[in-house]
Structure 1
Amino acid sequence: MLAPVPDDDGAPFWEYAARGELRVQACAACDEYRFPPRPCCPHCGSFDSAWRRVSGRGRIWSYVVPRPPLLPAYADLGPYPYNVVLVELAEVPRVRLVGNVIGGGAGGALGSLPPERLRIGARVQVVFAEQSGTVVPRWVLERP
Structure 2
Amino acid sequence: MAQVSHTPLPQQSRLWGKVSDGDFIDGYAVESLLSPREAADIGLTMPGWADALLRLRNTLVKPLGLKTESTDTGDGAIFPVEYEGADELILGTDDRHLNFRICLRQDAGRVHMATWVHRNNVLGRAYLMLVMPFHRLITRDAMRRIARAS
Higher relative CO (CA 8 A, sep ≥ 6), structure 1 or 2? 2
Instruction: Give the structure-1-normalised TM-score.
Output: 0.28
**Higher share in helix:** 2
Q: Choose 1 or 2 for highest CA Rg.
A: 1
